[in-house]
Amino acid sequence: MSRDVHVINHPLVQHKLTLMRRKDTSTKSFRELAHEISILLAYELTRDMPMQEIQIETPLETMTSRIIDGKKVVLASILRAGNGFLDGMLQVLPAARVGHIGLYRDPATLQAVEYYFKMPQDMGERDVIVLDPMLATGNSAVAAVTRLKATGPRSIRFVCLVSCPEGIQTFHEHHPDVPIYTPAIDRGLNEHGYIVPGLGDAGDRIFGTK
């Protein structure tokens, strides 16, 4: 079983993440950076995606060439912060389907509580990319992937902006077969279950609700 963690060290990704971490970055700038970084993350996520060969006509002759079957990709956004990454991902994967998983964290137990779940049909033929900016306690990610696995997708991968050792450990205790893609593994969690140094509450910063 795999316990893959892919740390995305591309200079542009790291640069934009640094700007997002700064507490004086405005909501407008944070949202724009989330869009830009999600485009870059999509390139990394699709690096090893399966391809198929099709026959095409160039201006000079017929040839066989390779394409990604974008219609088989599902972007599964964990609400609400995951939505901040959808537009950028869809810019790279415009044919992808979009699913939503509504979860909130119980402030007392830090456990994930589901309130919404909607995915495309025929999940058995689809490759799912789960979007959630933060892998903190790992409880929301575990709950989302557990729910997704029940639909029987062909593959699942999880992408986040910032992770921490506790979240990675919890996630892979439950889902050792699902790879994690992240630009950062931070020091750990504080007493409120927030990643430190982190970047704060990603949903609040994307949507300007705090």
User: Which residues have a catalytic role annotated?
Assistant: 105, 109, 201, 204
Cβ contact 82:98 at 8 Å: no
C-alpha Rg value of the chain to the nearest Å: 18
Which strand (E) or helix (H) includes residue 20? helix 11-21
Residue 121 carries which side chain, given as an amino acid letter?
Answer: Q
Residue 37 carries which side chain, given as an amino acid letter?
Answer: I
Q: What is the largest CA-CA distance in the chain?
A: 66
And the tokens for 35? Answer: 């869009």
DSSP letter string, 150-198: TT--SEEEEE-SEE-HHHHHHHHHH-TTS-EEES-B-SEE-TTS-EESS
